[in-house]
Amino acid sequence: MTSLTALWGAVIFSGVYHGLNPGMGWPLAVSAALMEQNPRALPRALAMLAVGHFVAMIAILLPFSLMFFLVEWETEIRVGAGIIVVAMGVYLLLNRRHPKFLARVHPARLALWSFLAAMAHGAGLMLVPIYLGICAIGPDETGHLAAQALMSGNVVTAFTVAAAHTLAMTVAGGVVAAVIYVWLGLKFLSRTWLNLDVVWALSLILVGAFGIWSALYGH
């Protein structure tokens, strides 16, 4: 139970982490509100970013939920997922250039931009080891019993994980966007911009390594 609680905490924490990261889009929400000179544009933009992020999370998690029906390969799937996440982190660590296609997306299509940004930066992959840990089978759940439990619960869990993560991301990003919009302004942002690319890549490596460890020795 403690391990499961920690994994759900990681879902929320990763959402907050994504929300605080400017690369997930909250500066675009601030820009939309300033350009329209309407504070209502801020929550609308955040909602569009949330929709895109949620769809990206589901697009990554659902295939793994289907793979997880192969009960006898549970550990192998979790280790493989961890290796993929680590590889993505290493790639982003070596390749610091931002995907050029994101700049070609029209600023009004925030949901599409958010979806593509989350996919390009591996945001959904960061959730995979945590999600698979939540779906891990107990030692007494074997054979058809485990398969039935997985088939009835894993898809629902995928949506729940994606929803909880996206809500945490939206709240965290929304708080930062509101503070910037109401009090500090974009000039403050331009003077204090933080490049989180290295931190982001290292966090992927850390989460992937945790996923491998938990599959082999943990929950």
Q: Of 104-113, 120-129, 158-167, which gets the smallest average pLDDT?
A: 104-113
> What are the Cα distances from residue 46, in Å, to 106, 114, 174, 176, 177?
16, 10, 7, 11, 9
Gyration radius (Cα) of the chain, Å: 18
Question: What is the average pLDDT score of the chain?
Answer: 80
Pick 151 or 82 by higher pLDDT. Answer: 82
CB 128 within 8 A of CB 60: yes
> What are the Cα distances from residue 136, in Å, to 18, 178, 197, 202, 216?
24, 38, 31, 25, 12
| Neighbour count for residue 148 (Cβ, 10 Å) | 11
Pick 78 or 103 by higher pLDDT. Answer: 78
**Burial per residue of 114-145, b for 16 or more beta-carbon CB atoms within 10 angstroms, e otherwise:** bbbbbbebbbbbbbbbbbbbbbbbeeeeeeee
Q: Of 23-37, 115-129, 191-205, which gets the smallest average pLDDT?
A: 191-205
30-80 pLDDT, tens digit each: 888 888 888 899 999 999 999 999 999 999 998 887 776 555 677 787 888
161-175 pLDDT, tens digit each: 999 999 999 999 999
Separation of alpha carbons 157 and 155, rounded Å: 5
Judged against a pLDDT cut of 50, whether residue 109 lies above it is answered with yes
Task: Report DSSP state, residue 105.
Answer: S
Q: What percent of the chain has pLDDT over 90?
A: 27
Q: What percent of the chain has pLDDT over 70?
A: 76
Q: Which has the closest alpha carbon to 180: 72, 22, 69?
A: 22
